Amino acid sequence: MLSVILPTYNEEKMIRRTADAVGRVLDGAGISYELVFVNDGSKDGTWEEIERTAAEDPHVTAVCFSRNFGKEAAMLAGLANASGDCCAVMDCDLQHPPKTLVEMYRLWEQGYEVIEGVKRTRGKESALHRASAGLFYRIISKAAKIDMSRASDFKLLDRRAVDALLLMPERNTFFRALSSWIGFRAVSVEFDVQERTEGESKWSTWSLIKYAVKNIVSFSTVPMQCVTVAGFFVLLLALVLGIQSLVKYFSGHAVEGFTTVILLVLIIGSVIMISLGIIGYYIAKIYEEVKGRPRYLISRRIGSSARKSDDDCENADRQEAGTAGEPGRT
């Protein structure tokens, strides 16, 4: 059975439509499936819409987060609550074409374990968005040592790959890169990003910048090494200026150079501040990881994935991801 995981955040208009579209395609191809909706703390009627759809369509199961935990957490929750032999993750806005699912499933049947959807075209975007996405992917590709320039979250994973992903203990996950990092027999499938028909993208420029920084830091320590490089650079500058100042001192012209002093104080001051900021960011991330809070909290469930009674707010993460220890409640 194929489990299709659909993270949703304020997608009330898309639930029914996506469930129908995906169902039609998979039924048509004779693939048995379940749809796992993850309601990521939507503020509109998304959960009610999922409940309505589930009442009519026995393929639908769902979990509801207690608040918005972000798409990464939603995808992991979907994977943890899916019971299929393979799991596909796709957006709930039909920007990932359902017919590609069939293509992916056929590759899975041939024995591939990680089938990655790669974007043939990126869909409609502003020039600035395209340029910054390009820069982000160059950095992250270097960091993860995988070409990610056309990567997406649209993937189909074998049960073995899913279990491997769920074993990752880290809180700051980057699904797109982790799915390559785990290895296994991988192949990619091209697809065209469709246009969004209803609702709007949940990503503002600011949230994209935060997302980029977070993921670069979660995959690479290069920014911290830049601090060392900057240190050496400043040391070199110090040597040159030091020699110059000494020469001036001994030749009796030492009073001049006040501008140089101001400039040096400013430059070194900013380099130190930026460096501390970078190191501070890593420390903040370590702090988050050390606290070991669950990635998400589930408040409600529908369907076969109901391992606990409804309205039982549980520490789903630790139990389902197989990390040792009782949840924080007694």
| Angstrom distance (rounded) from CA 96 to CA 152 | 9
| Angstrom distance (rounded) from CA 98 to CA 104 | 10
Q: Which does 9 bind (CB under 5 to 8 A by kind): ligand UDP, Mg ion, none?
A: ligand UDP
How far apart are the two ends of the chain, measured CA to CA in Å? 36
For the chain, state the CA radius of gyration. 25
Q: Is 6 helix (H, G, I), strand (E, B) or coil?
A: strand
| Burial class, 88, CB count within 10 angstroms (exposed 0-12 / middle 13-18 / buried 19+) | buried
Which residues, 43 to 102, sit near Mg ion by CB under 5 A? 91, 93, 95
- Please say which residue, 41 or 223, places its beta carbon nearer to ligand UDP: 41
Question: Which residue in 74, 82, 139, 316 binds ligand UDP (CB under 6 A)?
Answer: 74
Amino acid making up residue 151:
A
- Please say which residue, 26 or 75, places its beta carbon nearer to ligand UDP: 75
**Which span (8-16, 138-146, 256-264, 322-330) binds ligand UDP, by CB under 6 A?**
8-16
What residues pair up with 179 in beta bridges, in sequence order?
A: none
Q: Binding pattern to ligand UDP, positions 21-50, x when CB under 6 A?
A: -------------------x----------
Q: Which does 175 bind (CB under 5 to 8 A by kind): ligand UDP, Mg ion, none?
A: none
Residue 91 in contact with ligand UDP, rule: CB under 6 A: yes
Whether the CB-CB separation of 46 and 15 falls below 8 Å is answered with yes
**Which span (70-78, 97-105, 247-255, 321-329) binds ligand UDP, by CB under 6 A?**
70-78
Whether the CB-CB separation of 49 and 88 falls below 8 Å is answered with no
Which residues sit at the interface with ligand UDP, rule CB under 6 A?
Answer: 7-9, 11, 40, 68, 70-71, 74, 91-93, 95, 201-203
